[in-house]
Amino acid sequence: MFLIDSHYSVLDVEKLTELKRHALDYYAKIGIFPPSISSGKKGSRKKYSVLDILVLQVVSELKRRGMPFKRIRSAIEYLRESHNLEQPFHAALDGRHNVRILTDCKNTFYICFNDHEVVEYLKNGGQYMLLDVSDVAFDLKEKIRALQLYKRRKESRRFQQLHFSDAMQMSV
């Protein structure tokens, strides 16, 4: 997959998720989702993987939909313990499954990999919120492509300006 080995700065993550630096710092501080890539040196810049950013997008979307932050934190902890958080999110990123989170926003969190699973859980009754992680992953990949294109164009312009100024100096 084209995104797996990519690393993104806090500034990139702010652009991709619309989360502010203080929110990212807070999430890292309380352990909900710290950046997974570091050089190991104290004071080094934080780097986020695509998986990190997808989880942050899901957290942001659950928060936007009105789920209390305490419950979001519980959901992330539950997903880490019971589902190896990375597996369903990687499956959503690479398109292997249509991954959904089904929750009552209180105590119940299900990871569903197909429509049949969603229907089975809904048969139990109650009100649930459904978040399509695969849709969030698709949107994230589109944003990353746009960011990469922007960076390449910016770098190309910078190179052209340097090349032009070098050529001008040589002609003098």
Q: How far is CA 11 from the centre of its chain?
A: 14
| Token pair 């229907």: residue | 119
Residue 86 domain flag: yes
Residue 129 domain flag: yes
Residue 38 domain flag: yes
pLDDT value of position 167: 54
Segments of the chain scoring below 50 in pLDDT: 1-2
pLDDT value of position 76: 81
pLDDT value of position 97: 84
DSSP 96: S
Per residue in 120-139, pLDDT (tens digit) is 989 988 889 999 999 999 99
**Beta-carbon count within 10 A of 119 CB:** 10
Residue 119 domain flag: yes
Q: What is the CATH number of the domain that holds 75?
A: 1.10.1660.10
Strand order in the sheet with 100-103: 109-112, 100-103, 129-132
pLDDT value of position 118: 92
Grouping H, G, I as helix, E, B as strand and the rest as coil, residue 2 is coil
Residue 5 domain flag: no
Range of the domain at 63: 10-171
pLDDT value of position 1: 43
Q: Give the number of domains in the chain.
A: 1
Say which amino acid occupies 144: I
Residue 51 domain flag: yes
Residue 36: exposed, middle, or buried by beta-carbon count in 10 A (0-12, 13-18, 19+)? middle
Tally the residues of the chain: 172
Q: What does DSSP say about strands 129-132 and 109-112: parallel, antiparallel, or unpaired?
A: unpaired
Helix pair 21-30, 50-64: axis angle to 10 deg: 100
Residue 71 domain flag: yes
Residue 2 domain flag: no
